[in-house]
Amino acid sequence: MAEIDARLREDVHLLGELLGDTIRAQHGEDFLERIERIRKGAKAARRGSEEGAQQLGETLDGLREDQLLPVARAFNQFLNLANIAEQYHRIRRRRTDEAPPFETHVLGELLARLRGDGHAGDALAKQLAGLEIELVLTAHPTEVARRTLIQKYDAMAAQLAVQDHDDLGAAERDEVRDNLQRLIAEAWHTEEIRRVRPTPVDEAKWGFAVIEHSLWHALPRVLRGVDRTLQDCCGERLPLDAAPIRFASWMGGDRDGNPNVTAAVSREVLLLARWMAADLYLRDVDRLAADLSMQQASDALRARAGDTPEPYRQVLKTLRERLRATRSWAQSALRESLAPGAAVLQHTDELREPLELCYRSLHECGMGMIADGALLDCLRRVSSFGLFLVRLDLRQDAARHAAALGEITEYLGLGRYGEWDEARRLAFLQEELKNPRPLLPADYQASEDTAEVLATCRVAAQAPAESLGSYVISMAGAASDILAVQLLLKESGLRRALRVVPLFETLADLDNAGPVIERLLGLADYRASLCGPQEVMIGYSDSAKDAGTTAAAWAQYRAQERLVEICREQQVELLLFHGRGGTVGRGGGPAHAAILSQPPGSVNGRFRTTEQGEMIRFKFGLPAIAEQNLNLYLAAVLEATLLPPPVPQAHWREQMDRLAADGVAAYRAVVRENPQFVDYFGQATPEQELGRLPLGSRPAKRRQGGVESLRAIPWIFAWTQTRLMLPAWLGWERALGNALARGEDETLREMRESWPFFRTRIDMLEMVLAKADADIARLYDERLVEPSLRPLGAQLRDLLSQACAAVLGLTGQSQLLGHSPETLESISVRDAYLDPLHLLQVELLARSRQSPAEPDAPLEQALLVSVAGIAAGLRNTG
């Protein structure tokens, strides 16, 4: 087993020691010793010690009712502190004898490789500058930690950075220790669990905070590095207006199954984004006005500034007044409908132009070094964030649009839209889209649901074009679903292009994606109305929940291949939008490997993907971590565009067809066809309790019903808590097992060696299997599941064992993650803190189900803290 880096171990030890001091101060030495006995017992039990297991069980059994919550909190906090130390370790100062992180040189190495393959420097610079990567921040309810705690954790990471210098004196080290002690005490005395569920506006504000505190600083640094790398490798500069990375958001726009997201909420979030953008640019311009005190200026700048000794300051002061007017208007418009005044900035170009005027003047006057500092950073932000900070996507279920049109056609005496076949729907929609007269009379009184759909469309029509991204249609299944939204938008006053994007989610929908888009592009009027690429969203979460990850992954791949082929034939550009979650069961995994594993031709300089919940914090919460991940995106999208993976060979495709068929049959045999499964799921996991956890604004279920009604996130979250991790691997055990039994191991190894798609799937499967733990899952069954259902649990654990054996048989390893001992050690170190939380959770679930407590009761709070702690320990939970 690999040893964890000594400096990381020291940081973890320091944070744990300070947490212990904090606990001792509140609960006394005896309680702290009990925590330590639990930890040591868990560690010994993990190593196979029966004495350790007995000590662990007895210590936990001996806890009084009033000790359950502080014990759960202690282990929860330690896991959060370990995360902080591990996250900081990724970005810590490197010694001169240490290699720099992969993320810092991946782009330079790629450009050098491309130059070596004969790509011209100017062509590479143009390709890189023209990349269109859009990261869409979503508020899926897996971010367990409260925002106030996240801020304290970030402050702790900053203190670890302060102490990461060998030349600190004793007094300076003492000061760092005192600061850390204070921050840990603040975190310990702060409730981990929100008392109330956040609203969609709260979620949007959380997303804006990530931009304010991290991405706002990280993005210009990344682009500064790109500029430098381009100069070194290609002799070219990154153009001023280049924006290879942009950001969008679903927070406040995603109304699919969330009744809390209304038209009024979307309007409020759009205004809050305007306010936040103006405020952030004001800070930049204030600094620039203070710094740019020089007198020498170009004729163009002097003409703008007038007769003044400090022309740059004069131009920037004018811009500052307009930003203040914009911020003030946005603030007022939140309270009442208010038209923007003449001073309010309406277009990003109005913000860019005076800044660019200053920039060019400085270069003309020999002050390029000054121009390429904070001013260039500000211009980079303008190009990427624009005047509106993030573009808001809107999302709604196709059934809501069909229902609205059904109500309208009945009102107009045209019949029932919902009963029409596809041909009749398309004929009606195309005719109405061409018709200049309104479809609806001014006095039409819609039902509540239809009125809300139309109100959302009016928000889209009234919002500035730059402030909106795409209108995404969940559960899209036909070309009419796209035209239906276009007609509703037209009726609401939209007179410009807005991308209307079908989202194909289930296995059947993915298989049908090609025919739908082919029919859509075959409509002459639709084709003529296209402005820019045809965007299509690929759903990872629901397809995996529907069919298991084996069949879903192959269906996603084949759907993308077909879409690429259709758009090439139709001579239409394609933009694929990847709805990936944080876990393997929701399409998650390392972004760099995932991008490089996409079908050839599917990236082509464009890549749009969701970044959700907790993964936003882990990937973008700290500026230096954000820089690393943004660099990975840039390098991966450029490589996938210019060095696409190979087209899969015919016998690989046949092999994947067999794997997918076996995988979906095995998955559905358990999840859909076993009559005991739904009852077992409800008893063996904290699924029913997760509904009480105030995580996100969205309900856990779309509607009443069984597994099919659950959202993909709580479905996966529940299995993660018990460590069975079922959604991420179920189906692979039969798919791989049957293939190995048929003697197809040579083909599988060839695919793993030569096909990035298959290699990435197996790597992600191996990771999740390494985190799974059948012994922990058994504890939940023994305490919580009625005897008649326990054989199903035993069967599932046996399937888990088969999945592990199949992966080891394919990889030729004796141990999962044997090729990555550091990752394996990182997982195993956490088990000494996770095991007590699992044992506590099992007991708390049993007690809670026997006699349900009030939400504020210590037992209920301890249960929710255990959920949060396990989520923190395993990291990618949803």
Question: pLDDT per residue over 824-876, tens digit each?
Answer: 888 877 888 898 899 989 988 998 898 876 767 888 888 888 988 898 888 75
pLDDT of residue 455: 97
Whether residue 868 is found in the same domain as residue 838: no
Q: Which of 43, 89, 140, 213 does the annotation list as catalytic?
A: 140
Query: Which of 550-564, 591-605, 664-678 has the lowest average pLDDT?
Result: 591-605
Q: What pLDDT is recorded for position 76?
A: 92
Q: Which ranges of 812-857 would DSSP assign to H, the alpha helix?
A: 821-850
Which residue type is seen at 329?
W
Is position 545 annotated as part of the catalytic site? yes
Q: Is 596 contained in some domain?
A: no
Supply the pLDDT for residue 47. Answer: 82
Mean pLDDT of 36-44: 87
Question: Phi and psi for 152 in degrees, rounded to 5?
Answer: -70, -40
The reported pLDDT for the residue numbered 471 is: 98
Which pLDDT score is estimated for 87?
87
- Residue 505 CA to residue 19 CA, distance in Å, equals 45
φ and ψ at residue 85, rounded to 5 degrees: -60, -40
CB atoms inside a 10 Å sphere around CB 644: 17
Secondary structure string (H, E, C) spanning 342-377: CCCCCCHHHHHHHHHHHHHHHHHCCCHHHHHHHHHH
Based on the domain organization, do 184 and 332 belong to the same domain?
no
Structurally, the chain folds into a number of domains equal to 4
Domain limits for position 42:
1-100+147-190+852-878
Same domain, residue pair 765 and 794: yes
Residue 620 lies in a domain: no
Distances from the Cα of 865 to the Cα of 71, 79, 693, 716, 838, angstroms: 10, 12, 10, 18, 11
Share of the chain above pLDDT 90, in %: 73
User: If you average pLDDT over every residue of the chain, what do you get?
Assistant: 91
pLDDT band at 142 (very low <50, low <70, confident <90, very high): very low
Q: For residue 330, with 0-12 CB atoms within 10 Å meaning exposed, 13-18 middle and 19 or more buried, which class applies?
A: buried
| Statement: residue 66 has pLDDT above 90 | no
Using DSSP, state whether 469 is helix, strand or coil: strand
Q: Is 355 exposed, middle or buried (0-12, 13-18, 19+ CB in 10 A)?
A: buried
On the question of pLDDT at 145 being above 80, the answer is no
CATH code of the domain containing 292 = 1.20.1440.90
CB 593 within 8 A of CB 760: yes
Tokens of 36: 């330590």
Chain segment 568-608, per-residue pLDDT in tens:
999 999 999 998 765 544 444 578 888 999 999 999 999 99
Q: Is the pLDDT of residue 268 over 90?
A: yes
Q: Per mean pLDDT, which range of 290-299, 629-638, 695-704 is the poorest? A: 695-704
Q: What is the pLDDT of residues 204-252, one digit of tens each?
A: 998 999 999 999 999 999 999 999 999 999 999 999 999 999 999 999 9
With a cut of 90, say whether residue 614 has pLDDT above it.
Answer: no
Are the C-beta atoms of residues 118 and 642 closer than 8 Å to each other? Answer: no
Q: What's the pLDDT tens digit per position in 757-804?
A: 999 999 999 999 999 999 999 999 999 999 999 999 999 999 999 999
Whether 659 and 693 map to the same domain: the answer is yes
Neighbours of 103 (CB within 10 A): 19
Whole-number pLDDT of residue 282: 98
Q: Is 475 helix (H, G, I), strand (E, B) or coil?
A: coil
Within 13 Å and on the Cβ side, how many CA atoms surround 12?
18
pLDDT surpasses 70 at 99:
yes
- Domain match, 778 and 819 both: yes
Please give the pLDDT value at position 700.
Answer: 52
Assigned domain for 598 exists: no
Helix (H, G, I), strand (E, B) or coil at 611: strand
Residue 581 gets which letter from DSSP? -
Active site residue 140: yes
Residues 40 and 45: their CA atoms lie apart, in Å, by 8
**Last residue of some domain: 353, 384, 415?**
384
Identity at 307, one-letter amino acid code: D
Question: Are 428 and 513 found together in one domain?
Answer: yes
- Whether the pLDDT of residue 735 is over 90: the answer is yes
Q: Are residues 96 and 27 in the same domain?
A: yes
Residue 305 has pLDDT above 90, yes or no: yes
Residues 630, 246: Cα–Cα separation, whole Å: 10
Q: Is pLDDT at 504 greater than 60 in this prediction?
A: yes
Cβ pair 389, 273 in contact under 8 A:
yes
Instruction: Identify the pLDDT of residue 442.
Output: 86
In a domain, 214, yes or no: no
Which long-range CB contacts under 8 A does 220-227 form with residues at least 24 apart? 220/376, 220/377, 220/378, 220/380, 220/381, 221/377, 221/623, 221/627, 222/627, 222/630, 222/631, 222/634, 223/380, 223/384, 224/376, 224/377, 224/380, 225/104, 225/107, 225/627, 225/631, 226/107, 226/128, 226/634
Q: What are phi and psi of 539, to 5 degrees?
A: -90, 125
Residue 52 is predicted with a pLDDT of 81
State mean pLDDT over 713-731. 90
pTM over 0.85: yes
Handedness of CA 618, 621, 626, 630 (dihedral sign): positive
pLDDT computed for residue 41 by the predictor = 86
Residue pair 651/828 in contact by the 8 Å Cβ criterion: no
Q: In angstroms, rounded to a whole number, what is the distance separating the alpha carbons of residues 630 and 639? A: 14
Average pLDDT for residues 97-122, to the nearest whole number? 90
Which residues 6+ apart lie within 8 Å of 15 measured at CB?
81, 82, 84, 85, 156, 180, 184
The token duo for 511 is 């298989």
The per-residue pLDDT for 392 is 98
pLDDT tens, residue by residue, 673-709: 999 999 999 999 998 888 776 665 565 555 555 566 5
Query: In angstroms, what CA-CA distances link 617 with 217, 626, 627?
Result: 15, 9, 13
> Which of residues 546, 561, 579 is at a domain's end?
579
Based on the fold, state whether residues 186 and 277 are members of the same structural domain: no
Please check the confidence at residue 1 and state whether its pLDDT lies above 50: no
- Please check whether residue 601 lies inside any domain of the structure: no
- Contacts of residue 589, defined as CB under 8 A and 6 or more positions apart, other chains included, come to 760, 763, 764, 767
**Is residue 633 within 8 Å of residue 133, measured between CB atoms?**
yes
Least confident of 86-100, 520-534, 624-638: 86-100
Distance CA 260, CA 268 (A): 13
Q: How far apart are CA 627 and CA 647, in angstroms?
A: 32
Bridge partners for 575 per DSSP: 535
Is the confidence at residue 313, as pLDDT, over 90? yes
* DSSP conformational letter for 582: S
Write the single-letter amino acid at 472: V
Coil, helix or strand for 209? Answer: helix
Q: How many residues are recorded in the chain?
A: 878
Quick one: tokens of 172?
């300076």
Same domain, 357 and 401: no
Give the model's pLDDT for residue 93.
Answer: 74
Residue 599 included in any domain: no
| 609 pLDDT higher than 90 | yes
The residue annotated as part of the active site, out of 89, 401, 545, 838, is 545
Q: What is the maximum span of the chain, computed from C-alpha positions, in angstroms?
A: 89
**Whether residues 375 and 471 fall in one domain:** no
C-alpha to C-alpha distance for 730 and 777, rounded to whole angstroms:
15
| Other C-beta atoms lying within 10 Å of the C-beta of residue 759 | 17
pLDDT in tens, 360-416: 999 999 999 999 999 999 999 999 999 999 999 999 999 999 999 999 999 999 999
DSSP designation for 555: H
Alpha-carbon distance of 94 to 164, in angstroms, equals 10
The reply to whether 365 and 432 lie within a common domain is no
Question: In the prediction, which pLDDT does 756 show?
Answer: 96
State residue 392 phi and psi, 5-degree precision: -85, 125
Of 320, 355, 384, which one is at a domain's C-terminal end? 384
Q: Does 714 share its domain with 816?
A: yes
Is a pLDDT exceeding 70 seen at residue 611? yes
State the distance between the two ends of the chain, measured CA to CA, in whole angstroms. 29
CB under 8 Å to 866, separation ≥6 — which residues? 72, 76, 837, 838, 840, 841, 844
Which tokens sit at 193? 């669990």
Taking residues 288-302, report their average pLDDT.
97
Residue 509 contacts residue 477 (beta carbons within 8 Å): yes
Q: Is residue 663 a part of any domain in this protein?
A: yes
Decide if 871 is inside a domain: yes
pLDDT at residue 188 is higher than 60: yes
For the chain, percent helix, then strand, then coil, each to nearest 5? 65, 5, 25
The Cα 278–Cα 263 span in angstroms is: 23
Q: Are 180 and 112 in contact (CB under 8 A)?
A: no
